[in-house]
A and B are shown apart, each in its own frame.
Chain A
Amino acid sequence: MQTWLLILGMALITFSVRYSLFAWPNLRFAPLVLQGLHYVPTAVLTAIVVPGMLLPDGEHLALRLDNAYLLAGLGAIMIAAVTRHLLATIGGGFVLFFLLRWAFGQLPL
């Protein structure tokens, strides 16, 4: 039940954001707001990615050489910088991640 309420809430929020300017065709945002929106994807997604790489358990800094999240994340950044291709980044990062976890004996095999 709670999960369904959460899903409905997420649906409502997502739709409201997308519908915002479709609902009132004459509504315009101030230039400063639009300028700020250009940095939203970069800022938000980086704020999720960096802690995900440095603190895989969500609590402890893991600046270690057996941290596959950190190493494969760095690898994915390099792949993305060179190829600028989303699927190549995901695929290459994933392969690298599992190879590292396998090498470190971190997979439940």
Chain B
Amino acid sequence: MTRSQLFVYGLRDSVPMIVGVAPFGIIYGTLASVAGLSLWQALGMSMLVYAGSAQFIAISLLSAGTGAAVILFTTLIVNLRHVLYSASLQPFIAHLPQTWRIPLAFGLTDETFAVVQRRYLAHGAGNHGQWYHAGVALALYLCWISSSLLGVLFGQAMPSLADWGLDFAMLATFIGIVVPLLRNFPQVAAALVAGAVAVVCHGLPYKLGLLAAAMAGIVVGVVLERRTQPAVAGEGV
């Protein structure tokens, strides 16, 4: 297959994901503009950070008057899951020069990972497999930016949206991500412990309650997993 064919296939396979990404982008843009970010700041965050969950949280922390250090720290914790993606795609991009690896790493979102991994697992990297990857990454990046822009314009047109409680969108989104992950006892226990610790520790400064809750959930999950299935512990993604 030629490079341009692969690139077009990448664009095409991104279409189902666009249906999911666009609403997030619109809600993000609306929340950002209601929170007081200018059009360029809200759009700049989508262009440069390009991480939906982290952007949602940053906006809600900004509205609550949280300091920058805490927001940066929270960004790190929320994005840690991307290390997993990076690890599982590593074998397929290892042969590429840095000029390819840098942009592909920049575009490594949940959705890009989902589409690209499917392809790599079925066909391997092959010749020019990176062009497929590039098509997916570009399509989803442009979708995120344009839907963010739509959201910002919507928010600017209706400033009264600030009192509507649009921040619930973030909760619903995270619920929709987490609940399907709760497929076994260690995952359920990790969620219950993390939720309980987060409520008990919510009064701690610098969002340390979030860190404590995350650490507690991770430790409980790992300990329980090792206890129930020690033989397969630690196998890939």
* Residues of chain A at the chain B interface (Cβ within 8 Å): 2-11, 13-15, 17-23, 25-26, 29, 31-32, 34-55, 58, 61, 68-69, 72-73, 76-77, 80-81, 84-90, 93-94, 97-98, 101, 106-108
Q: With A4-B44, A46-B191, A49-B178 as known contacts, state yes or no: A19 contacts B84, CB within 8 Å.
A: no
Contact between chains at A47 and B197 (CB < 8 Å): yes
Bound form: Cα–Cα A21–B59 in Å: 28
Contact between chains at B51 and A14 (CB < 8 Å): yes
Contact between chains at B171 and A49 (CB < 8 Å): yes
A31-B235, A43-B194 known; 18 new pairs, CB 8 Å cut-off, are: A9-B75, A13-B75, A23-B101, A25-B94, A26-B94, A31-B233, A35-B233, A36-B218, A39-B217, A43-B214, A44-B80, A45-B53, A45-B177, A47-B209, A47-B213, A49-B195, A86-B177, A87-B20
Bound form: Cα–Cα A2–B209 in Å: 25
Q: In this assembly, does B122 line the interface, its C-beta being within 8 Å of a C-beta of chain A?
A: no
Q: In the complex, how many angstroms separate the beta carbon of A47 from the nearest chain B beta carbon?
A: 4
Q: In the complex, how many angstroms separate the beta carbon of B39 from the nearest chain A beta carbon?
A: 12
- A101 partner residues in chain B, CB cutoff 8 A: 164-165
Contact between chains at B234 and A15 (CB < 8 Å): no
Bound form: Cα–Cα A58–B168 in Å: 13
Contact between chains at B170 and A52 (CB < 8 Å): yes
Main secondary structure of the interface of A (DSSP, over half): helix
**Residue in B79, B101, B213 whose CB lies within 8 Å of A13:** B79
Contact between chains at A22 and B101 (CB < 8 Å): yes
* Residues of chain B at the chain A interface (Cβ within 8 Å): 19-20, 23, 37, 41, 44-45, 48-51, 53-55, 57-58, 62, 64, 68, 71-72, 75-87, 89-90, 93-94, 101-102, 104-106, 108, 160, 163-165, 167-182, 186-187, 190-191, 193-199, 202, 209-210, 213-219, 221-222, 225-226, 233-237
Contact between chains at A14 and B50 (CB < 8 Å): yes
Q: With A17-B79, A18-B108, A49-B178 as known contacts, state yes or no: A34 contacts B84, CB within 8 Å.
A: yes
- B64 partner residues in chain A, CB cutoff 8 A: 58
- B82 partner residues in chain A, CB cutoff 8 A: 14, 17-18
